[in-house]
Amino acid sequence: MATWIYHLRLPVLILCVVQLISGYSFKNCISAPYSNLTSFKCINRHNNKISAIVKDLPGSAVNLTASFNPVQHIPNNSFVHLPNLQYLSLENNHLKTIDPLAFQTLHQLKYLNLSFNNLSELSPLLFEDLHSLTSLLLTNNILKVLPEDIFSNVTNLETLNLRNNHLTNFSALVKSVSHLTNLTSLDLSFNDLTSLSDSNISLPQSLKVLNLRRNNLHTLGCNPSLLKFIQLLDLSFNSKLPTTALEGVDLSNVKRLHLQSTSVKAVEFLNISNINAGHVVYSGMGLNNDSLLGDLCTMLRRKLKWIKNIDLRYNGIRNTTNSTLSLCPKIIGALDLSNNELKEVHCLHFLDKQVNINKFNAEHNHLTSLPSCAIKKNTSFNSLKELSYRYNRILSVSGCAFIHMPKLETLKLNINNIAFLHREALKELTRLKILRLDNNLLTDLFNETFKDNYNLQILNLRNNRISVIFNGTFMNLRNLTTLDLGGNKITQIQPSGLDGLRSLSKFYLDGNNLKQIDSSFYHAFQDTLTVLDLQKNLIQFYNKSAISPFVKLSKLSDLKLDGQKHHGLVVLPQNFFRGLHSLKSLYLTNNNIDFLPPEAFDDLTSLKFLTLDNCCVGVAKLQPGVFKNLRNLTRLVVENMGIQNFSKEVFGNLTQLRILQLNRNVMQSISVDALESLPKLQYLDIRNVPLSCTCKNNLLQNYTVNNPNVQIIYLYTMRCQGDKKLKFHNFDTKVCYIDQGKYLFLSTAVVIFLFTVSPLLYVKLYWKIKYSYYVFRSWFSDHWSRLRDKEEKCKYDAFISYNFSDEEWVMNQLLPNLEGNGSSFKLCLHHRDFELGRNIVDNIVTAVYSSRKTVCVVSKNFLRSEWCSLEIHLASYRLFDEHRDVLLLVFLEPISERQLSSYHRMRKNMLKKTYLQWPGPNCTDPSQAQELFWNQLRRAIRAGSRLEIEQNDADEDFALASKETGNHKKLLSDDEDYLLS
């Protein structure tokens, strides 16, 4: 009892304690986990006022992203309460206007993103207080012009991005940024500039990157020294820009110049420009035949002895001859022929004299095959380290296709249609470290496929059609650390299929058709494997006692078993994760597990992240102790599991838990004791949980609103389950905090008193209480009043109360003498006159009050009948309560006083009232005695019911009857004859 009272008083105590504590939930924002209230995201909110979205954020905020909201206007002083803000992103809203002082007091702001809005103009004072600003992004708006002094106070600005607007006046832009001595990058691409007229105003010398891509430039028209200090200049996709526009412009410091899709002619440009020829990107300059390529190479050779990189993408090159690129200076870096129309590469014969290149790209072409290059006369490219044929149409790779590239380290053949890979296609690539064969049509791998690639470190075979891993396939890949076989159709791994992978650390088998996990597969790399991905296979268990297949993977830190196809894991064996003492992340989402054994996670003592999102069938009942050993767990995702109860027994041991995602479960209440057993908890997501707004959750409401350490995600938008108009954080809990102790004491005292008194009342007043109850019920149903008003119009003369065993005497003696033999009495007999289907008690009450008299035929069987006892008590209560002489006692046999001792009211009546004794067989004249008996009974029935006091009313006939019967019992009392004093 004391404990109960304590728990009832506890809410009041807690409420008093937390009155001075501020809450840790935000109406429209989420604080990033582990950010310590410095980083916030306010995304996809329905509020169109920025001040309402961010008003409850603390002053400690440093990073703020408020994106994808219907905000159209930012008023003055919207962020004045966030003086420590350094990163502010307002992209992808519907902003049209921003007041001049919207960013006032943001003196520490370094990054501001206003991209992807509808801004058409900006106030000159908008950035006035942003003295620390280094990056400003205004991309994808509809700005046409910028105020001249808009950047006057942002002298620390380093990056300015005005991409994809409608700017037309370059001179005004130059003027607005000319004083920004720290500006290094200016992006003006995708605007409407037609020239670079500068009005003799120079760009800052600090500016190194200038992007003028995709404008409408048809001339530069600028001061020759305007671009003197630029190092990266992009003039691409200005289709009307001629070669002559660049004549005389100082490009001596440019390290990379893009001229794709302009009218600039490469050779002509090199003749008139002071740019280093090796710094020009020749991509998309119309060099689509050998003649033009030859001219370019000749020009380059004239200017340079060697060149690091040549970029020839997007030139429409269909084929090349051996002599074309041999005219170029020595290439010591990369040659890029991607995005052309090459159909063949002929073992790179066209690079016959360019044997010093270290990287060759031919992506996005029309290659259909890679032939064998085993012919001795083929040129050997001993410097080539990286080769990429991605995004082609390659169907087959012949044997020794790369034998002339013995020092190749990276080979990319992914995203082709390779269905045939010769067993010796990769022969002699002994230095190969990275091989990409993903997204092809491979079906088989053989022992010889990777025989020479013993230095291979990363092998990607994802999204092919491999179904079986044969014995010895990877036998020689002793240095392989990452093997990706995901997205295939693997159904079988032969016993020695993974032998040789002694250094394997990351193994991806997701999206296959594996039905079981064999621990023997892993023996080669059981001491090195750290990541194992088995998502979306066909793994299922039906036996809870299955042996763990991971028991020897002592270093495994990341295990994914999500979404097993068709029916999920079904059963999670109790020892399934045995031995995984180093595991840090476990993924079990989207499985139809019907039961989580309490021992399932016992060995996962190092686990930090566990996700069980949508893992279980129907309603999940987590067993007590299921997380008992996960003392290092920091993040737990149990969304949409059908959890009904959140208890301390289940979650109480997660002492290091910081993030708990419980949303989309079915519990109607959450134990605050369980939450308080998680001392490190910082982030709690209980959205879409049907919490009831009742006293059952009053402690939870207080916890969510006032707890200073735990962030409740979008608490202020959570609705009550019963009434969606009410919100959980402010439903009325006053009734829960009344002084329940006092009321409990009083109610307990009353209950104890009733328990003490009830037995006494039962013994002393049982029949009176029962009688009162029946009388009240009759009165309530209008019977009581009707019966009292109709005494003289009673339906019956007498109600005969008797036991069933005495029915023969009643039917053979009493009934003929009272209703026959000249008598006109109307009697009420229960077997004849009770209403069928009616409650028996109601029938008895009606019979007593519908009859002028009640005749009790008393026998030993009568005294043992509860119903007969009820009838005589009802009649006697009517006698005493209404002062009506309604009770007549007829004794069929002698009954001792001891037998009547428990019927004290009957004894009392016998002492004060006349009663009749049926003449026994020992009478001298039974016939005469019975005649007198019936006369006296008829007289008693005819007598009025109102009691009147009479002094001398002794009846001689009755005295004679008494004498003749020889009854020595007193038939008439000394002082009363049918009288009651």
- Judged by DSSP in three states, 511 sits in coil
Q: What pLDDT, on a 0 to 100 scale, did the predictor assign at position 770? A: 64
The one-letter code for the residue type at 34 is: Y
Evaluate if residue 977 carries a pLDDT over 60: no
pTM of the model: 0.74
Q: Which residues pair with 209 in a beta bridge?
A: 185, 232
966: left (phi over 0), alpha (psi -120 to 50) or beta: left
Percent of the chain with pLDDT over 90: 56
Does residue 843 carry a pLDDT above 90?
A: no
Range 874-892 average pLDDT: 70
> Which residues contact residue 31 at a Cβ distance below 8 angstroms, ignoring those fewer than 6 apart?
37, 39, 40, 683, 711
Distance CA 69, CA 522 (A): 50
Cβ atoms within 10 A of the Cβ of 500, count? 20
The residue among 741 and 142 whose pLDDT is bigger is 142
- The identity of residue 394, as a single letter, is I
| pLDDT, tens digit, 9 for 90 and up, residues 799-811 | 888 888 888 888 8
Residue tagged 């009673």 (tokens): 794
Residue among 172, 121, 162, 165 nearest 142 (CA): 165
Phi-psi domain of 870 (left: phi exceeds 0; alpha: psi -120 through 50; beta: other): alpha
Cβ atoms of 949 and 905 closer than 8 Å? no
Phi, psi dihedrals of residue 750, rounded to the nearest 5° = -60, -45
Instruction: Work out the angle at residue 972's Cα, subtended by the Cα atoms of residues 966 and 975, and round it to the nearest 5 degrees.
Output: 145
Q: 44 to each of 93, 118, 321, how far by Cα in Å?
A: 9, 18, 57
Render pLDDT for 51-81 as a digit per residue (tens, 0 to 9). Answer: 999 999 999 999 999 999 999 999 999 999 9
Q: Is the pLDDT of residue 905 over 90?
A: no
Residue linked to tokens 């902003």: 95
Residue 194 CB partners (closer than 8 Å, separation 6+): 168, 215, 216, 217, 218, 219
Q: How confident is the model at residue 974 (pLDDT cuts 50, 70, 90)?
A: very low
The Cα–Cα gap between 129 and 50 comes to: 19
Render pLDDT for 412-449 as a digit per residue (tens, 0 to 9): 999 999 999 999 999 999 999 999 999 999 999 999 99
The answer to which of 24-33, 59-68, 156-165, 896-905 has the lowest mean pLDDT is 896-905
Please provide the average confidence, as pLDDT, over all residues in the chain.
85
Q: Which of 465-479, 760-774, 805-819, 836-850 has the highest mean pLDDT?
A: 465-479
pLDDT digits (tens, 9 = 90+) for 322-337: 778 889 999 999 999 9
**End-to-end Cα distance, the chain:** 55
Vertex 732: Cα angle to 730 and 737 (nearest 5): 120
- In this predicted structure, the answer to whether residue 4 has a pLDDT above a threshold of 60 is no
Residue 574: pLDDT band (50, 70, 90) is confident
What was the pLDDT predicted at 811?
A: 86
Rg (CA), the chain: 52
Instruction: Answer yes or no: is pLDDT of 479 > 90.
Output: yes
Better-predicted residue by pLDDT, 970 or 839: 839
Q: DSSP 3-state assignment of 317?
A: coil
Strand 659-661 relative to strand 711-712: parallel, antiparallel, unpaired?
unpaired
Q: For residue range 502-526, list pLDDT tens digits in order.
A: 999 999 999 999 998 888 788 889 9
DSSP sequence for 369-383: EE-----TTSPP-TT
Residue 267, pLDDT score: 95
Is residue 362 within 8 A of residue 337, CB to CB? The reply is yes
Candidate from 211-225, 754-768, 927-941 with smallest mean pLDDT: 754-768
457 has a pLDDT exceeding 60: yes
- How confident is the model at residue 741, as a pLDDT? 66
Confidence of residue 738 (pLDDT cuts 50, 70, 90): low
pLDDT of 114 reads 97
In 834-971, which ranges are continuous DSSP H helix? 840-849, 860-864, 866-882, 904-912, 926-942, 956-965
CA distance 661 to 348: 56
Instruction: Kindly state the tokens that stand for 244.
Output: 């002559």
Rounded-to-integer distance, Cα 390 and Cα 376, Å:
27
**How far apart (Å, rounded) are the C-alpha atoms in residues 981 and 963?**
26
Instruction: State how far the Cα of 660 lies from the Cα of 768, in Å rounded to an integer.
Output: 64
Contact (Cβ atoms closer than 8 angstroms) between residue 284 and residue 307: no
Rounded to 5 degrees, φ, ψ at 473 are -55, -40
Q: How confident is the model over 885-908, as a mean pLDDT?
A: 69
The region of weakest confidence among 14-23, 68-77, 133-142 is: 14-23
Q: Which residue has the higher pLDDT, 22 or 544?
A: 544
Query: In the predicted model, is pLDDT for residue 946 greater than 50?
Result: no
> Of 190, 198, 252, 246, whose CA–CA distance to 218 is shortest?
246
Question: Burial, 688: exposed, middle or buried (Cβ in 10 Å; 0-12, 13-18, 19+)?
Answer: middle
pLDDT of residue 862: 80
Angle at Cα 529 formed by Cα 523 and Cα 530, nearest 5°?
Answer: 155
Residue 808 CA, distance from chain mean position:
79
CA-wise closest residue to 857 among 807, 819, 907, 821: 807
**Measured distance CA(591)–CA(530) in Å, rounded:** 23
**Dihedral angle computed from the Cα positions of residues 239, 230, 360 and 338, in that order, rounded to the nearest 10 degrees:** -20
* Alpha helices for 696-781 (secondary structure H): 698-706, 740-780
Q: Residue 284: pLDDT above 80? A: yes
- Does residue 255 carry a pLDDT above 70? yes
Evaluate if residue 903 carries a pLDDT over 70: no
